[in-house]
Structure 1
């Protein structure tokens, strides 16, 4: 009997009862062919590979991660909670030693959901990886975590959630934002002042093939991970870089995805995008499962794949090689800018204990416009207390206050003071508090 080198748990949740619409790319059929392929290939007959059912994420799991306005129930369905619960189940399997690795094959996806949530954007309501990460840090300690997002679209939501978090490294490989939604993810986006350098974006040109993706992994991602030394590596495993995906412009193959996973060697993978329901997902998911289990995947190939047809041009190769050198050099720059320069480079302004920036966010799926004033305590000892004023076309002025994981005494005191003042101020319709140090999650105003 074939045996897995690494024991693998596969959590499967296709969400048959949920879709944005009957013809939308994110719909019920997305994982049906994957389910058939995995069973036809006998994946679960391999010793060491086991299928698991997802959990249902609790409201508290979401509340420790997001400011949801007016509440969690208004911005996500039971299917979203089960999708996040599938990611949590993957974390449990690995963290408790039941499996070496785990792959959450779940939908709906989540990596475009930001810290503040008023609705759905980029097909995402809540950020399932972030919910999982915060579950890990709540239950298993304040670990250093690296997220490598290989979805074709920039993981702007995950970047936003961890923009100010010095203990979470976020790396996104994606199609250049000048050519694809959400129009972000450029090298200059490197994290907030308290976590500068803990965000790394690798924008790749359209028509990048296996060669380009694997070059970026080997020459940028792996050296950075080796320097950061995370306790856990998570692959935000979007599959819409595939050459057959209907809404992107890349030339990645199923075998290339498997090789990427072998090189990256993540503890946990969580499915994100990928909308070639028949042409890509069954083959890519099989390849990733085999690679995570340490089993040969060379036989995995799409029936219509031709390496010559989908090879990248010499110009694309040269561009990626140059970009990789620049990104790695920038990450390892010997001298970080001084605080005032950092404040300016990250788009903030000083306001007493806080640094402040204004943001506008558009929810393309739900047609919602949101405005924010984000204030973070400038702190050398922790990630800094967050004060987020937010209002949108569906919600009045509201406030979120977060005391971060590992908060220092000063930031804890500031967070408590901000919350006390907010609850006494009638200008805020809703107030939500995330106190990670004391593990308190509260909502006011409804």
Structure 2
């Protein structure tokens, strides 16, 4: 009988009533095969490992994170609220000390959902990790959080949400965006002016195998986590780096994923992508669960796995070694941002940091034009506003007063809302006031 060194809570939610289409890669079978595998392997017979049911997130949990236009109910189904509630339940288990670690094996996924939401992109409507993290901060106070996104696709939504947050470290290991959706996630994207270096992208070349992936974790991720000293480590646990995944080009095995998780030692993992439904996901999830529980995972193998077949070539190894030499400096010594040139970082105009973004919602076919403004402040994180227009909605405005807002930024936030009401330029206006826990929306 395998023994667990750490107690682990596992939350399942396959979302039987939600699918993009019956044959879409993101469908309920992704989790059902895993559920069968874990039971067949006797995982829940191990002392310290138990299954839990998800909670249902409230609309307020969504509004704490996202500007949803025209309203959350237009983009969120019951399944999305349960998926986010599964992540919240995972957090609750750890924060209350009921379990040492937790793994939310839930769908629909969330890491492509950005701060502003008009619909679904990359199969994601709301960012379930962000909903979970802000639920933690709402109920347990300010926390330093590190998110390590190991999905094969760049976590562009999570990056967008935490772009200006110095208390959240976001690291994304992913297949190079020049070769895969969403075409983003490059080292030049380092975070906003008040959070430079808190965003770190590690774009890995196609055909990266266990060797390269684990090298990047050991030489880039772990030293940065050691320096950042987070209160919580969250693994955004996408599993589409697997060698058999039908929509990606990487060569990571179940053993590679388990070793990665053992090295990362996350407090909470939340499932993201992974679309090799029978040949990969049951073994990957089993390996991750055993690693999180501190149990022996050496026996976990895919039936068709041949190490030599999926070994990366010397050029790939040399390229990743170069990344390992260079990328840590983005965190430890980020170049100064003066905002004088237009770039992905945005520009500085007086007391404002401004970014213009054109966003395509590939799942729903929506186009969005957005202007994000951070009002720079010496006393707090700064007031955030987002002007957004999409092919679904006319001009909208979102204003966020941060949890640590100073009196001046709080006052300025309400002034923006008041001016929007007077001018009548916006069809929908939403206020996120984290300081006073006030979440309001207006339609004109």
User: Residue 127 of structure 1 aligns with which residue?
Assistant: 127
C-alpha distance in structure 2 between counterparts of 1:339 and 1:368, whole Å = 33
Say whether 1:33 aligns with 2:33: yes
Which consecutive residues of structure 1, in runs of 5 or more, have no partner in the other structure?
A: none
Q: 43-52 or 377-386, which moves further after superposition?
A: 377-386
User: Residue 95 of structure 1 aligns with which residue?
Assistant: 95
Deviation at 1:157, TM superposition (A): 0.3
The 5 Å alignment of 1:99-248 reads 99-248=99-248
Deviation digits for residues 419-442 of structure 1 (CA, Å, limit 9, x no counterpart): 221222211111000011111111
Contact 2:173 2:203 in 1 (8 A): yes
Deviation digits for residues 358-379 of structure 1 (CA, Å, limit 9, x no counterpart): 1110000000000101110112
Say whether 1:407 aligns with 2:405: yes
User: Residue 281 of structure 2 aligns with which residue?
Assistant: 281
Contact 1:149 1:155 in 2 (8 A): yes
Deviation digits for residues 108-150 of structure 1 (CA, Å, limit 9, x no counterpart): 0000000000000000000000000110010000111000000
Change (3 A) 1:344 1:361: closer
C-alpha distance in structure 2 between counterparts of 1:443 and 1:120, whole Å = 21
Deviation at 1:280, TM superposition (A): 0.6
User: Residue 81 of structure 1 aligns with which residue?
Assistant: 81
Deviation at 1:331, TM superposition (A): 2.2
Q: TM-score under structure 1 normalisation?
A: 0.97
Change (3 A) 1:345 1:397: closer
Deviation digits for residues 127-181 of structure 1 (CA, Å, limit 9, x no counterpart): 0000001100100001110000000000000000001111110000000000000
Say whether 1:20 aligns with 2:24: no
Deviation at 1:26, TM superposition (A): 0.6
Deviation digits for residues 39-94 of structure 1 (CA, Å, limit 9, x no counterpart): 00010000000100000100000000000001111001100100000000000000
Q: TM-score under structure 2 normalisation?
A: 0.98
Contact 1:55 1:86 in 2 (8 A): yes
Secondary structure in structure 1 of the residue aligned to 2:302: coil
C-alpha distance in structure 2 between counterparts of 1:301 and 1:229, whole Å = 33
C-alpha distance in structure 2 between counterparts of 1:382 and 1:249, whole Å = 42
Secondary structure in structure 1 of the residue aligned to 2:417: helix
Contact 2:186 2:203 in 1 (8 A): yes
User: Residue 352 of structure 2 aligns with which residue?
Assistant: 354
C-alpha distance in structure 1 between counterparts of 2:377 and 2:269, whole Å = 32
User: Residue 64 of structure 1 aligns with which residue?
Assistant: 64
The 5 Å alignment of 1:356-395 reads 356-395=354-393
Deviation at 1:16, TM superposition (A): 1.4
RMSD: 1.3
C-alpha distance in structure 1 between counterparts of 2:443 and 2:60, whole Å = 18
Deviation at 1:411, TM superposition (A): 1.8
C-alpha distance in structure 2 between counterparts of 1:402 and 1:361, whole Å = 20
Secondary structure in structure 2 of the residue aligned to 1:6: coil
C-alpha distance in structure 2 between counterparts of 1:19 and 1:347, whole Å = 35
Secondary structure in structure 2 of the residue aligned to 1:39: helix
Change (3 A) 1:428 1:338: closer
Q: 402-411 or 174-183, which moves further after superposition?
A: 402-411
Deviation at 1:338, TM superposition (A): 5.6
Say whether 1:49 aligns with 2:49: yes
User: Residue 323 of structure 1 aligns with which residue?
Assistant: 323
Which consecutive residues of structure 2, in runs of 5 or more, have no partner in the other structure?
A: none
